[in-house]
């Protein structure tokens, strides 16, 4: 099994599963940001037809799942297993968001690293031949996350400059096995562009694969400031990136881009320093979804974007199309999470981080 | 891949992974119940040396992980991936409980079905050759769960008779791959009984394997009473059990026992009725961990035990040793979860259920 198992924490898939479609649903502030033209769907009032922020987040997840199925040109019942999660207590946005699809499901929690966790497990399952198609979905919502972790929006609390702005958005992905079900990857088939019953067009990726993963450990530098999550998560990103490089015998230069999930401006600066200390130079090839999704000058999101939805919608709307077109050949995608709850930080516990690495390649 | 993929939701592993060790750490009330002599460790004040219920729960998970490693005779760094979860918001008991081991980890949430979710993913990963050893761990704590979902214990709130008593306990399991790493299963080696540095003896199982799984869907009958979780979860248990039987072409009689996680007295009665409606008779072969862990006459736990720890410690302390000794040849283990949060039920949402099926066999 040396063919698959690499180093301490990584896997390389000999027959890499493919990401055949991705969808992004985003909120109104995100729709005013730099990626505005790239999202599949955007909301106007961030309620998405619901009465509460929590229901709104579930509506977004449902919409993201429906959209990704339409884009892939497949039905929900063709998805073997679903891997999903969010930031809310007991992952309630996912439970309520995906229940209508009746897909056998695994609920996940990895804070804002959940999109990486979901894609890793979907790729592991697809590569092992456990089914033809797997789905990964995650979401976050500014309104529900502020209520969950800080204060309800109605309180109009002031936020420190180190705070990040939780992205309102949901991203979903269909992962197809390559070896066990070679016909699952008929991406370049004439199906592409077909208009389905819903009036939505099939838009499959033909050239994106997940060639490997690096599963993250919990990394705790003892930081306790829940309003500076970038700093709490940067050590975990460093750990996963340097482990990916050593497990796979690579240097940072192997990747066209190393893209972290939501370190924001503060965390990204810390990451560069920490990696330099490890002998890795990521200058010129590092991007962070939390820095890309909002405009720093005009949108006033302090240290940048964050949340389960941040990395997911940026991956779906911007990163994967770049790989599909071959503008980037190899990307290390590293969603980062801050492992805390309101109870843990009120009880004085530290905020450890976790990050999972997904190796995405053009083929 | 027809060899592995069965029906709509199930997998049968051609080279079944083994459970080589299991551990159980339980609270003081559990230590007075019918299983009292079977637990590896029990606490006296339910604080396990900590200052808060949440920290106590993390301490229990840490203790369960250490104990299962000692019993398996392996070090933490030999575990490739850890799958774990609990009931608290943002799975904080697991994050804090397992961080010291520095094992690459996947955080899970499946309410009280999490032990099934963790064992399923551990078995899937072990069977695919993603590593020699995987670990699964879950926990719950009466004090932290009452605070999370109902009222802090200090309020002395009265509980309705349909309510269940959250088990204070944590169970951990080491799953070994059979095909990729045949030497991982040296269970009958002379190592057994060896005393390690910690003074604890190696106690490996030699005859327990996970031959298959059935991944559950979210099943929602629209029930809204969070104080009657047995009723909320019974439809999910029915769905997973009947799906397991149809996917695998079996009748209930194939199994010596079908053991649900924590339906309790009310949910178990409903399950029997629902399965009867599907043409399945489980009388005489159904057990429920929520009914086995406390004494109904003397312990006043109303509808029985519940929680992520309930199924996990009962599996570790009672069910697996019965399979190891060959007293049961085939067991369908079905932990059940109620998918809700305080926010969702305060906002009037229903309480859907989910259940995962793990097929355990003596070999």
Confidence (pLDDT) at B202: 86
Question: pLDDT band at B201, cuts 50/70/90?
Answer: confident
- Give the closest of B95, B217, B347 to A104, CB-based: B217
Residue given tokens 């002599």 in the structure block? B37
- Give the closest of A54, A105, A108 to B344, CB-based: A54
Q: Say how far apart CA A133 and CA B190 lie, in whole Å.
A: 44
The two three-digit tokens of residue B265, written as one number: 């007295």
Same domain flag for A104 and A229: no
Same domain flag for B110 and B165: yes
pLDDT, tens digit (0-9, with 9 covering 90-100), for B311-324: 999 999 999 999 99
Is the ipTM reported for this complex over the cut 0.90? yes
Cβ neighbour number for residue A201 with a 10 Å cutoff: 13
Contact between chains at B88 and A343 (C-beta distance less than 8 A):
yes
Instruction: Identify all chain B residues contacting A129, using CB atoms and an 8 Å cutoff.
Output: 1, 4-5
Instruction: Identify all chain A residues contacting B180, using CB atoms and an 8 Å cutoff.
Output: 1
Contact between chains at B11 and A88 (C-beta distance less than 8 A):
no
Q: Which contiguous run of DSSP H or E holds residue A344?
A: helix A342-346
Instruction: Identify all chain B residues contacting A84, using CB atoms and an 8 Å cutoff.
Output: none
Report the domain count for chain A.
2
Instruction: Identify all chain B residues contacting A340, using CB atoms and an 8 Å cutoff.
Output: 90, 92
Name the residue in chain B with its Cα closest to that of A345: B92
Average pLDDT, chain B: 94
Is B199 inside any structural domain?
no
Is A110 inside any structural domain?
yes
The two three-digit tokens of residue B227, written as one number: 């104080």
Q: Which among A206, A198, A210 is positioned nearest to A21, based on CA atoms? A: A206
Return the CATH number at A10.
3.40.47.40
Rg (CA), chain A: 19
Same domain flag for B157 and B224: no
Q: Helix (H) and strand (E) counts for chain A?
A: 11, 17
Same domain flag for A148 and A86: yes
Same domain flag for A177 and A60: yes
Residue B284: partners with Cβ closer than 8 Å, 6 or more residues away: none
Residue given tokens 């007075």 in the structure block? B32
Same domain flag for A257 and A354: yes
Contact between chains at B180 and A129 (C-beta distance less than 8 A):
no
Q: Say how far apart CA B45 and CA B177 lie, in whole Å.
A: 38
The answer to whether the Cα torsion of A204, A207, A212, A216 is positive or negative is negative
Same domain flag for B100 and B224: no
Contact between chains at A54 and B95 (C-beta distance less than 8 A):
no
A227: containing domain: 210-362
DSSP A200: P
Same domain flag for B297 and B170: no
Cβ neighbour number for residue B78 with a 10 Å cutoff: 16
Residue given tokens 């008929």 in the structure block? A186
Confidence (pLDDT) at A1: 57
Is B201 inside any structural domain?
no
Q: Is B243 within 8 Å of B274 (Cβ atoms)?
A: no
Instruction: Identify all chain A residues contacting B105, using CB atoms and an 8 Å cutoff.
Output: 215-218, 354
Q: Please list the residues that pair with B112 across neighbouring strands.
A: B110
Q: Is B285 within 8 Å of B258 (Cβ atoms)?
A: yes
Question: pLDDT band at B3, cuts 50/70/90?
Answer: confident
Same domain flag for B180 and B215: no
Same domain flag for A248 and A176: no
Q: Which among A29, A23, A58, A62 is positioned nearest to A43, based on CA atoms? A: A29
Q: Say how far apart CA B122 and CA A305 lie, in whole Å.
A: 33
pLDDT, tens digit (0-9, with 9 covering 90-100), for B50-63: 999 999 999 999 99
Half-sphere exposure for B209 (CA within 13 Å, toward CB): 19
Instruction: Identify all chain A residues contacting B216, using CB atoms and an 8 Å cutoff.
Output: 104-105
Please compute the mean of the pLDDT values over residues B284-292 and round it to a whole number. Answer: 98
Instruction: Identify all chain B residues contacting A99, using CB atoms and an 8 Å cutoff.
Output: 218, 220, 352
Is A41 inside any structural domain?
yes
Same domain flag for A67 and A178: yes
Q: How far B363 CA lies from chain A's nearest CA (Å)? A: 24
Confidence (pLDDT) at A201: 77
- Strands B330-334 and B357-362 come out as antiparallel
Contact between chains at A110 and B110 (C-beta distance less than 8 A):
no
Q: Say how far apart CA A179 and CA A144 lie, in whole Å.
A: 40
DSSP A157: -
Is B200 inside any structural domain?
no
List, as one string, the DSSP characters of A222-278: ----TT-HHHHHHHHHHHHHHHHHHHTT--GGG-SEEEESS-HHHHHHHHHHHHHHT
Is A205 inside any structural domain?
no
Q: Is A233 within 8 Å of A353 (Cβ atoms)?
A: yes
Give the A:B interface size as CB pairs under 8 Å: 171
Q: Say how far apart CA B5 and CA A80 lie, in whole Å.
A: 10
Query: Domain ends where: A184, A219, A253?
Result: A184
Instruction: Identify all chain B residues contacting A95, using CB atoms and an 8 Å cutoff.
Output: 218, 339, 352, 354
Q: Which among A227, A295, A309, A318 is positioned nearest to A267, based on CA atoms? A: A227
pLDDT, tens digit (0-9, with 9 covering 90-100), for B109-133: 999 999 999 999 999 999 999 999 9
Q: Inter-axis angle of helices A142-149 and A53-72, to 10 degrees?
A: 140
Query: Domain ends where: A150, A184, A218?
Result: A184
B81 pLDDT more than 60: yes
Q: Which contiguous run of DSSP H or E holds residue A323?
A: helix A320-324
- Give the closest of A4, A104, A181 to B216, CB-based: A104
Q: Is B83 within 8 Å of B122 (Cβ atoms)?
A: yes
Contact between chains at B90 and A85 (C-beta distance less than 8 A):
no
Q: Is B18 within 8 Å of B323 (Cβ atoms)?
A: no
The two three-digit tokens of residue A345, written as one number: 């930080």
Confidence (pLDDT) at B193: 66
Contact between chains at B341 and A215 (C-beta distance less than 8 A):
no
Is B203 inside any structural domain?
no
Q: Where are the beta strands (DSSP E) in chain B?
A: 5-6, 10-12, 18-26, 41-42, 79-85, 105-108, 133-140, 165-166, 169-176, 208-214, 257-260, 286-288, 305-306, 330-334, 336-338, 353-355, 357-362
Is A177 inside any structural domain?
yes
- Give the closest of A81, A90, A107 to B340, CB-based: A90
Residues of chain A with pLDDT under 70: 1-2, 180, 184-200
Please compute the mean of the pLDDT values over residues B227-235 and round it to a whole number. Answer: 96
The two three-digit tokens of residue A134, written as one number: 């797997």
**Composition of chain B by helix, strand, coil, percent to 5:** 35, 25, 40
pLDDT, tens digit (0-9, with 9 covering 90-100), for B133-165: 999 999 999 999 999 999 899 999 898 999 999
Percent of chain B with pLDDT over 90: 89
Half-sphere exposure for B44 (CA within 13 Å, toward CB): 1
Q: Is A352 within 8 Å of A200 (Cβ atoms)?
A: no
Contact between chains at A1 and B129 (C-beta distance less than 8 A):
yes
**Test the A interface: residue of B85, B109, B243 with most A CBs within 10 Å:** B109
Query: Domain ends where: B184, B218, B240?
Result: B184
Whole-prediction pTM: 0.96
Question: pLDDT band at B179, cuts 50/70/90?
Answer: confident
Same domain flag for A314 and A217: yes
Contact between chains at A218 and B95 (C-beta distance less than 8 A):
yes
**Test the B interface: residue of A61, A82, A104, A179 with most B CBs within 10 Å:** A104
Contact between chains at A180 and B110 (C-beta distance less than 8 A):
no
């Amino acid at each position: 099994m040396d063919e698959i198992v690499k180093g301490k924490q990584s896997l390389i898939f000999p027959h890499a599963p493919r990401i055949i479609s991705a969808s992004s649903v985003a909120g109104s502030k995100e729709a005013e940001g730099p990626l505005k033209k790239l999202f599949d769907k955007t909301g106007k009032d961030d309620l998405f037809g619901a009465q509460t922020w929590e229901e709104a987040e579930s509506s977004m997840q449902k919409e993201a799942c429906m959209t990704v199925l339409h884009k892939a040109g497949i039905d929900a019942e063709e998805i073997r297993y679903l891997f999903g999660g969010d930031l809310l207590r007991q992952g309630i946005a996912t439970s309520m968001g995906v229940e209508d699809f009746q897909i056998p499901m695994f609920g996940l929690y990895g804070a804002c690293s959940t999109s990486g966790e979901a894609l890793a497990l979907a790729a592991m399952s697809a590569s092992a031949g456990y089914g033809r198609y797997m789905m990964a979905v995650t979401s976050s919502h500014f309104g529900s996350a502020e209520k969950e972790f800080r204060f309800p929006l109605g309180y109009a609390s002031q936020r420190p400059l180190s705070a990040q702005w939780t992205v309102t958005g949901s991203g979903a992905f269909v992962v197809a096995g390559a070896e066990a079900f070679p016909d699952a990857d008929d991406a370049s088939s004439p199906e592409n562009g077909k208009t389905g019953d819903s009036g939505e067009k099939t838009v499959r990726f033909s050239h994106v694969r997940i060639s490997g993963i690096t599963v993250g450990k919990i990394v705790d530098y003892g930081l306790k400031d829940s309003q500076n999550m970038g700093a709490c998560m940067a050590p975990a990103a460093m750990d996963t990136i340097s482990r990916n490089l050593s497990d796979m015998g690579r240097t940072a230069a192997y990747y066209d881009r190393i893209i972290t999930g939501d370190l924001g401006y503060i965390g990204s600066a810390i990451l560069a320093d920490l990696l330099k200390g490890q002998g890795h130079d990521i200058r010129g090839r590092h991007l962070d979804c939390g820095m890309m999704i909002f405009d720093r000058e005009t949108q006033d999101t302090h240290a940048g974007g964050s949340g389960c939805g941040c990395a997911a919608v940026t991956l779906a709307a911007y990163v994967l199309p770049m790989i599909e077109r071959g503008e980037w050949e190899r990307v290390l995608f590293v969603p980062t999470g801050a492992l805390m709850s309101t109870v843990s930080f009120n009880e004085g516990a530290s905020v450890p981080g976790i990050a999972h690495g997904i190796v995405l390649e053009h083929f």
